[in-house]
Copies of this chain bind each other. A is one copy, B any other.
Amino acid sequence: MNILYDEHLDGPLPKVDKQALLQALQAQIPDLDILHREEDLKPYECDGLSAYRTTPMLVVLPRRVEQVQALLKLCHGQNVPVVARGAGTGLSGGALPLASGVLLVMARFNQILHIDPDARTARLQPGVRNLAISQAAAPFGLYYAPDPSSQIACSIGGNVAENAGGVHCLKYGLTVHNLLQLEILTIEGERLTLGSEALDSPGLDLLALFTGSEGLLGVITEVTVKLLPRPQVAKVLLASFDSVDKAGRAVADIIAAGIIPGGLEMMDNLAIRAAEDFIHAGYPVDAEAILLCELDGVEADVHDDCERVRQVLEQAGATEVRQARDEAERLRFWAGRKNAFPAVGRLAPDYYCMDGTIPRRALPEVLQRIASLGAEHGLRVANVFHAGDGNMHPLILFDANQPGELERAETLGGKILELCVQVGGSITGEHGVGREKINQMCTQFNSDELNLFHAVKAAFDPQGLLNPGKNIPTLHRCAEFGAMHIHGGQLPFPELERF
């Protein structure tokens, strides 16, 4: 599958002579591994989203910061665009390469530099895998909280670039909330420290600005994260509902009861059946929706909270509430959820995973509206999401070999994201904007806001060499896309009030 990306809308990229660049790199950084043959470049043409493909001009695989520094200085001097990439598991095309630029693969920077159990911090190279951090911290009774579903493979550098979340971010926050310090290189090759190990840093908060900036501001060479003590106990409840609506309302009720679960996830019938068929998690396949609610902390507290949540769920109309009997069942419950994307992927030749957020109170209404939008476009939509924080992942099923289905899926996806903005939410929860949602940025932001983004980007990278064409659309693109900016503005569907 190959969704066309209208690159011309983001302005022409500099012309780069591949052979001259290759020779310059070989001459100036002789020990740098460079891939340049077509067959070696192929594996780098897409990311976890796989809807877009571009073969990079060159791939470089440095091992030392000095090599990255030399590379950036050279590219800066010769006006060559650079795209940094971690593990390549992104879901919005944020690290997609350019046909006329260098793909800077940071995967070999995979060392855990230091774990400080007293300060509860870990200092990491950017290519360290997310799960490896918690594994290394485990002997100290600590772990790293953000846990994207790709945590076995995705790297901490990519997590920072996309401000990754996960099932635990309702309670423990996104990557930005679990971060202390970054070492970065600017496009000019300057080494900078952003943030500090202290509570707060003076000056402008460039650490937060950099987090989630999708490779537009600099290249991450070191990451210091916070570690948390592992909860003594974690229990999970599985509640079944005979309507998606009731499940949505139960989510709001749990939060309103003053309980902050470690995870609060929802799946609809299509997702439940797909996951059950694939993982055999023990899900109720006849339920219209399920909620998975995890409570963690100290024993007595978790026990009390489980009882309170059970009461809330029953009052909200759950047809069944089951507590995982043991750790094995708890992990099985989660395995179904964590494998929901590949499970749904078995239902149709292709699927398109969306990532929007909405205020929690809008959940029932938005789910109804997604169902009718799906019916209008003749496509099935499975819903899997971080319900507690309103982060939805509608999965649109389609078959790219059927003429017109891909286009219908794209149109439907765009409408779902616009719906999120209309109800006061946003077009991304944790997957980022990347290349995929760049047009929807025109819906989310007005031209003054986009101009400010461009000005801040230019403060770091005036020539626009770092990851051009991602994250921030040009005003020209927005004009071509013809988006109505609806943030706080008028609503194309007058029946929908701003919640």
Q: What residues of chain A have their CB less than 8 Å away from a CB belonging to chain B?
A: 117-120, 141, 163, 165, 169, 174, 176-177, 186, 190-193, 196-206, 208-209, 211-213, 216, 229, 252, 255-256, 258, 297-298, 300-301, 304, 357-361, 389-391, 420, 424-430, 432-433, 437, 441, 444-445, 448-449, 452-453, 455-460, 471-472, 487-488
Contacts and interface: CB of A to CB of B under 8 A. Distances in A.
A230 B202 CA distance: 30
14 contacts: A119-B359, A141-B258, A176-B208, A186-B448, A192-B448, A193-B488, A198-B390, A201-B426, A202-B427, A202-B444, A204-B213, A204-B456, A455-B459, A458-B459
Given A198-B357, A198-B359, 19 more contacts: A177-B177, A186-B448, A190-B448, A197-B359, A198-B429, A199-B429, A200-B391, A200-B428, A200-B430, A203-B433, A204-B212, A204-B216, A205-B209, A205-B213, A206-B456, A298-B301, A301-B301, A452-B460, A455-B460
B192 A449 contact: yes
Contacts of A359: 119, 197-198
A174 B199 contact: yes
Contacts of A425: 196-198
Say whether chain A's binding surface is mostly helix, strand, loop, or mixed: loop
A204 B453 contact: yes
Contact of A203 (B358, B445, B455): B445
Given A119-B360, A205-B209, A304-B300, A200 B426 contact: yes
Contacts of A191: 448
Contacts of A211: 205
Nearest to A163: B200
Given A198-B357, A357-B198, A390-B199, A204 B457 contact: yes
